Amino acid sequence: MENNNPYRVLKTTRFLSCVLLVLGFQASTFSQQYEIPEQTKKIVFLGNSITYQGSFIHCIDAFLELKSPESKYEIINLGLPSETVSGLSEPNHANGEFPRPDLHERLQRALDQTKPDLVIANYGMNDGIYLPFDEGRFGKFKEGMIWLHESVEKSGAKIIHVTPPVFDERKDPAYANVLDIYSSWLVSMRYTHDWEVIDLHWPMRKALEDHRKENPEFAFAEDGVHPNADGHFLMAKEILIGLGMNEIEEKEHSSQLLNHKNGEEILNLISQRQTILRDAWLRSTGHNRPGLTTGLPMEEAQKKVNQLNQEIELMINEIKSSLTDSIK
């Protein structure tokens, strides 16, 4: 009997992979934008160690706090180092100490406890487990992404997918190609299944190439994987543009993104807030990844966050006051 499931994962040929690679270059010039849905209060970020490190989330949180403090978004970082959505792991990952954590193990608990209105998910970097392209591994990535999409929608939340950051081809051109293919497939889901997808992979790849024309030693990630401050800023910028914040398109640094009195101080306080809450939520929701800082119990974490929120609110009120004075 014919399988009419629209999410049926078909065997992908090398030819299709090449087509997707070409489409990726084309898609980078046709970005789509999405609005944060009305009534959104809780926004949960899911991802791997890049999300866990979270500098791009801190920038997004600070920008939204300054742009629309009345919205009072609760932005929760549930990134987990080493995690995949494909469920794959290298035979000797972490020198054999532990396999890569699998999002399947914790997603339902995370959704049940955080009750998000919107999920922003960034997977792919670890999902090819740093090996050359393989149809089987690609299939596992697609299956995992489809499962993630359906699970979030079933919970009642909206989901926006974000393509993975660029993998530096100087470290391994074969794995850079894997990330190109995975990103292109994800972008294609905009058109074939009406997914909301923000593409940061191809803009980041182009930015890397442009920078290297001026400085051949330039890198967004010294290890090829984990973006530095410039890389995290570009990630924040592309996600915010994808959410309709076109006013930041010409910004080149976080200091320009937060071009307000007390902007850098607010970013620092928000970074502290994000770290406390990330660790507390990871403790509360649970995970199988050893070696992480144990977060505070949620009640204790919230007390510290409330103190930070008071400081942030005071600084924002100073900004409002100075803007009012400048109009007079």
Averaged over successive runs of 10 residues, the pLDDT of the chain (328 residues) comes to 41 40 44 86 98 97 88 96 97 94 98 98 98 98 98 98 98 98 98 97 97 96 96 96 89 73 88 98 98 97 97 85 47
d(CA 242, CA 248) in angstroms, rounded, equals 11
Task: Give me the residue spans of the domains in the chain.
Answer: 24-327
CA dihedral sign, ordered 93, 86, 59, 251:
positive
Q: What is the pLDDT of residue 31?
A: 62
Q: What is the pLDDT of residue 235?
A: 97
Phi, psi of 273 (to 5 degrees): -60, -45
Question: Which residue spans within 152-236 are E strands per DSSP?
Answer: 158-162, 197-198
d(CA 206, CA 196) in angstroms, rounded, equals 22
User: For domain 24-327, which architecture applies?
Assistant: 3-Layer(aba) Sandwich (3.40)
Q: What is the pLDDT of residue 26?
A: 42
Q: 55-67 and 298-327 helices cross at what angle (nearest 10)?
A: 50
Q: What is the pLDDT of residue 13?
A: 35
Confidence (pTM): 0.89
